[in-house]
Amino acid sequence: MTQSALIAVVLAYFALVFWIAHRTGRGATNEGFFVGNRASPWPVVAFGMIGTTLSGVTFVSVPGAVGRDGFSYYQIILGHLAGYLVIAFVLLPLYYRERVTSIYHVLETRLGSSAHRTGAAFFLVSRTLGACVRLYLVVAVLHAMLIASSGVPFAVTAFVVVALIVAYTYEGGVKTIVWTDLLQTACMLSGLIVVIAILLARLDLDVPASVAALSEAGLARMFVLDPMADNFVVKHFVAGLFIAVAMAGMDQEMMQKNISVRTLGASQKNVLLMLGIMMAVVLGFLYLGGLLHLYAPAAGITESGDRLFPAVVMQSLPEVVQVVFLIALISALFPSADGALTALTSSFCVDILRLRDRANLAEEAQARIRKRVHLAFAALFFALVLGFEALGSPSMIVVLLKIAAYSYGPLLGLFAFAILTRRRPLDRWVPVVAIAAPLGCYAIDHYQEALFGPYRIGLEILAVNGALTFAGLWLVSGKARP
């Protein structure tokens, strides 16, 4: 298919997204922007959150890593199963009981204002970096597929993509993205199914025969039983548990959609439904990765890692599949990017600027400030995407999980301390502890060969990070709170 035809398809897709944004965002108040007026239908939220959870990193990086790691990534997803149960039955009841707009308000009521600001600050850093990793990956693929041959710089492509995200989230926020995420997740999953069907036909295999072929090629190995391996099953399960709790349950982007549902019971159903769909979808992406690695050598394709999936589609599959892939890729990008931009705006306005507590500011004045913050975060997204382009990486999912291990650890420790103890840390020491814990983890990671010999700490460094934060808060805490 010609480049102009692909661009026309992309423009038609965006026209549909903007129509949905216009329909759902009309007359949105600050309450609608932040938490969707707490009236979002839970099945819509559950399905749309699949796109937010998985993103373009899963769409491109997970299949690309199968050649190196087999299906071992699913060990992390099994850990997610335990983590999402903690979210549904421990964290959500707490958030609904306190009727929070920002989940970091819980830290203030239990640990003090310094803990509130520290938690929000770590979320802002964590989500900004994580969202920009996801955004960069998909922008890079789109640029290579559609734009690079015309000589347009990468920076122009990145600017246009960020501007489009701003345009349809600017007014409605959560009230809009609940519905746009529904469309985008449906398109992403449709792309997954179509490409799998085409590859099975090209390989002349049915599902049972393809599973046998993957096993014979060593691509379907899931459980790693060597304790010294970086992806040892216990290490991955523990990491997956804490990654889910921290990156979903203690993340304003993920939780703002859950708490936009009217009742706790419906929100819990949302989490459990999303968990079930997510586990099936990730298994589908791993299966797709196996098929890609079976097909690529026979088709003469030598690309690997994040470049494998786009290369197979653009060099070897029919034009209609290229269109499906392109729409699915865009759909994988936007649920994570739009939600992140909205959540970061919400958290900065509510937690740092404390707009909701400033009774002297009229609704219109608060809206003006919120829109300026929205634009400022969009500019930061653009700058960081350019930074990741300069950095480069063969597998962005590794980068994403490494960032999470360091930046979400203090949030894990803060929430654990707030929930599991009745002690109150001294305000001035909270940010010191939250910064010292990741630095301590970096030292452990750097010197772990001397400390542990052949054993290597991997993604479970997130749990270590949270434990160091918890221990530090205990040491600087005063008398028990009433």
CATH number at residue 260: 1.20.1730.10
- Asked if residues 278 and 50 have their Cβ atoms less than 8 Å apart, the reply is yes
Considering only residues 337 and 309, tell me which one the structure prediction assigns the higher pLDDT. Answer: 309
SS3 content of the chain, % helix, strand, coil (to 5): 80, 0, 20
Tell me the pLDDT band of 442, cut-offs 50, 70 and 90.
very high
Residue 478 is predicted with a pLDDT of 74
- The range of the structural domain enclosing residue 55 comes to 3-395
Task: Tell me whether residue 86 is exposed, middle or buried, using C-beta atoms within 10 angstroms of its C-beta: 0 to 12, 13 to 18, 19 or more.
Answer: middle
CB-based contacts of 443-446 (< 8 A; 24+ apart in sequence): none
Instruction: Name the range with the highest mean pLDDT among 115-124, 334-343, 435-444.
Output: 435-444
The residue to which tokens 């439904």 are assigned: 273
Q: Find the mean pLDDT for residues 374-393.
A: 85
Q: Write out the H or E segment, with its range, that includes residue 106.
A: helix 105-111
pLDDT of 13: 77
Q: How far apart are alpha carbons 322 and 320 in whole angstroms?
A: 5
Read off the tokens for 51.
């796109």
Q: For residue 30, what pLDDT is reported?
A: 47
pLDDT of residue 36: 45
CA distances from 391 to 23, 160, 344, 458 (A): 39, 21, 24, 22
- pLDDT at residue number 35: 46
Query: Is position 447 within any domain?
Result: no
> How would residue 103 be classed by pLDDT, with cut points 50, 70 and 90?
confident
Provide the greatest CA pair distance for the chain.
69
- For the cut 60, the answer to whether the pLDDT of residue 350 exceeds it is yes
pLDDT of 92? 94
When divided into structural domains, the chain yields a total of 1
Tell me the mean pLDDT in the region 464-471: 96
Q: For the ranges 124-138, 388-402, 422-436, which has the lowest average pLDDT?
A: 388-402
Residue range 387-415: average pLDDT? 79
19-73 tens-digit pLDDT? 776 666 555 454 544 444 455 666 766 666 666 666 656 777 889 889 989 999 9
Structure tokens at 411: 């949030």
Residue 22, pLDDT score: 67
91 within some domain: yes
Q: Is the pLDDT assigned to residue 265 strictly greater than 60? A: yes
Q: Which residue type, as a one-letter code, is found at position 468?
A: L
What token pair was written down for 126? 């964590």
Q: Specify if 420 maps to a domain.
A: no
Q: Could you identify the residue written with the tokens 């549902």?
A: 261
For 166-221, the pLDDT digits (tens) are 876 665 445 566 666 777 777 778 888 999 999 999 999 999 999 999 999 999 99
412, part of any domain: no
pLDDT tens, residue by residue, 314-325: 888 888 888 888
391 pLDDT more than 70: yes
Let me know: does 434 contact 473? Beta carbons within 8 Å: no
26 vs 434: which has the higher pLDDT = 434
Indicate if the pLDDT at residue 292 is higher than 70. yes
Over the stretch 233-255, which tens digit does the pLDDT of each residue have?
999 999 899 989 998 899 887 78
Q: Dihedrals φ, ψ of 261, to 5°?
A: -80, 145
Whether 452 is covered by a domain: the verdict is: no
CA-closest candidate to residue 115, choices 476, 358, 426, 439: 426
pLDDT greater at residue 374 or residue 360 = 374
Provide long-range contacts, Cβ within 8 A and 24+ apart, for 141-150: 141/56, 141/60, 141/306, 141/310, 141/329, 142/326, 142/329, 142/330, 144/310, 145/6, 145/310, 145/314, 145/326, 146/3, 146/6, 146/7, 146/10, 146/326, 149/3, 150/3
